[in-house]
């Protein structure tokens, strides 16, 4: 069964297909999108993903009559750089890509962000197809944010650029390492926590199936996650307002990533602790304490951390947060849950409450 969602963005609308055996159909689908066979296609992938899936993608494209050029770079966040960007551009130029060509991103969020930025800028923008191979990439493949990192700041050089098609082949997820599975599921349950109470509790009930990559459960979870993100993005494509709710758990999460050095916690692990923190903040603001209990139950069931190791000191985290965002007169903006499945953007969170939350996240046992 192939599931299909449309990201509604007027003339930039595009479909997301989720199912098994999709890699083998990519050639035909590129023809349906309208990419001409005389224009070469560039497949970008990383050193973990390419040995597993690149041959299948190339075979399908070649069978459909395309000339295929590929570029494989070392896996990992360090490759999301201007240097690798230039190397991929070189491959594109040498491969003779023209204005009607397309870039296909085969991999996780790193490949998607980098290849998308190549697609957005090669000859001022050519075709773009996302073939996400991580669960986390359900998040990055919806919304059109593409970027590379600058040595001084993450995602600093980028664009908004929508793909023509997203192909989510569930078979590719079977090779994901367990920590990457759980990390990706953090963003899935986040989409439930911000907008869909029923889906958040569904994730709790089906956690074991999700962690076991059971295709039926996984297909449904990715469909709901993509659909919720798509709905938020459709209402605010360029992040002027409401799109900020997608950042639930990310202020604390980004600080954890910065303090730990990127790589100590995976992104989803860091935002899981951040989401537990947001629920503690909600309790401080007088919201129901069950928000915290249930959020923690969901994250724990998905194999995610909800506590801070003590070496992440309050001072270091506060400093990282202040670097990320300005405190205006001692106050800052946070996404705060109102209940499971509903959040508010609150712009007058006091520094002392954030400090209190960090201290609670560090305590052993229940903070209550
Ligand atoms: N554009 C957006 O809106 C957006 C949103 C969220 C995250 N991101 C970006 O996404 C990136 C993180 O994405 P990610 O977590 O997918 O990281 P990633 O692309 O680095 O993938 C994680 C690891 O898994 C490996 N891998 C990928 N697919 C695999 C598979 N099927 N089998 C085995 N191994 C596989 C990769 O080689 C890598 O080592 C960050 O750079 C982040 O900034 C972007
Ligand atoms: Zn995130």
Whole-number Å distance between alpha carbons of 290 and 294: 6
CB atoms closer than 10 angstroms to residue 310: 9
Ligand 1 neighbour 163 (Cβ under 6 A) = no
**Average pLDDT of the chain, as a whole number:** 94
Ligand 1 neighbour 58 (Cβ under 6 A) = no
Q: Which residues make Cβ contacts (< 8 Å) with residue 286, sequence separation at least 6?
A: none
Report pLDDT digits (tens) over 114-154: 999 999 999 999 999 999 999 999 999 999 999 999 998 88
CB atoms closer than 10 angstroms to residue 90: 11
What structural domains does the chain harbor? Answer: 3-175 (3.40.50.1970), 178-362 (1.20.1090.10)
Residue tagged active-site, from 100, 154, 197, 243? 243
User: Which has the closest alpha carbon to 263: 195, 166, 179?
Assistant: 179
pLDDT given at position 27 = 98
pLDDT given at position 325 = 65
Q: Within the chain, which residues score under 70 in pLDDT? A: 237, 239-240, 262, 324-328, 364-368
At 140, is the secondary structure helix, strand, or coil?
A: helix
Nearest bound ligand to CA 268? 2
pLDDT given at position 367 = 39
pLDDT given at position 231 = 93
Which of 140, 186, 272 is the pocket-test mutation for ligand 1 (most atoms within 8 Å of CB)? 140
119: region left, alpha or beta (phi > 0 left; psi from -120 to 50 alpha): alpha
Q: What is the DSSP string of 46-100?
A: ETTTHHHHHHHHHHHHHHTT--EEEEEE-SSGGGSBHHHHHHHHHHHHHTT--TT
User: Which has the closest alpha carbon to 278: 254, 301, 310, 243?
Assistant: 254
Ligand 1 atom showing the smallest separation from residue 266 Cα: 15
At 168, is the secondary structure helix, strand, or coil?
A: strand
pLDDT given at position 83 = 98
At 156, is the secondary structure helix, strand, or coil?
A: strand
pLDDT given at position 95 = 98
Report pLDDT digits (tens) over 289-337: 999 999 999 999 999 999 999 889 999 999 998 876 666 677 899 999 9
Question: Is-catalytic flag, 3?
Answer: no
What residue owns the CA closest to ligand 1's atom 33? 176
Stated length of the chain: 368
% of the chain beyond a pLDDT of 90: 86
User: Which has the closest alpha carbon to 200: 317, 286, 296?
Assistant: 296
């Amino acid at each position: 069964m192939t599931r299909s969602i449309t990201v509604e963005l007027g003339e930039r609308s595009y479909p997301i297909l989720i199912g098994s055996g999709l890699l083998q159909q990519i050639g035909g689908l590129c023809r349906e999108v309208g990419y001409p066979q005389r224009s070469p296609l560039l497949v970008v992938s990383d050193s973990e993903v390419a040995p597993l899936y690149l041959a299948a993608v190339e075979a399908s494209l070649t069978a459909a009559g395309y000339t295929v050029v590929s570029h494989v770079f070392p896996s990992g966040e360090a490759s999301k750089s201007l240097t690798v960007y230039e190397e991929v551009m070189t491959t594109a130029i040498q491969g003779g890509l023209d204005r009607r060509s397309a870039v296909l991103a085969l991999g996780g969020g790193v490949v998607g962000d980098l290849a998308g930025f190549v697609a957005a800028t090669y000859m001022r923008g050519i075709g773009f197809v996302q073939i996400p191979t991580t669960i986390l990439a359900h998040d990055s493949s919806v919304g059109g944010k593409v970027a590379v990192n600058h040595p001084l700041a993450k995602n600093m050089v980028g664009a908004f650029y929508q793909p023509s098609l997203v192909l989510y082949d569930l078979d590719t997820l079977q090779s994901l390492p367990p920590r990457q599975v759980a990390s990706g599921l953090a963003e899935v349950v986040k989409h439930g926590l911000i907008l869909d109470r029923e889906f958040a509790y569904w994730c709790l009930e089906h956690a074991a199936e999700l962690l076991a990559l059971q295709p039926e459960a996984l297909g449904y979870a990715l469909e709901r996650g993509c659909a919720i993100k798509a709905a938020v993005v459709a209402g605010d494509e360029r992040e002027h307002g409401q799109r900020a709710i997608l950042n639930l758990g990310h202020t604390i999460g980004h600080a954890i990533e910065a303090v730990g050095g990127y790589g100590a916690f995976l992104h989803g692990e860091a935002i899981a602790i951040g989401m537990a923190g947001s629920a503690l903040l909600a309790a401080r603001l007088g919201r129901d304490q069950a928000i915290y209990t249930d959020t923690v139950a969901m994250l724990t069931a998905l194999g995610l951390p909800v506590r801070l190791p003590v070496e992440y000191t309050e001072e270091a985290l506060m400093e990282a947060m202040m670097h990320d965002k300005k405190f205006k007169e001692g106050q800052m903006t946070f996404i705060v849950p109102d209940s499971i499945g509903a959040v508010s953007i609150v712009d007058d969170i006091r520094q002392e409450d954030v400090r209190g939350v960090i201290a609670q996240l560090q305590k052993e046992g229940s903070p209550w």
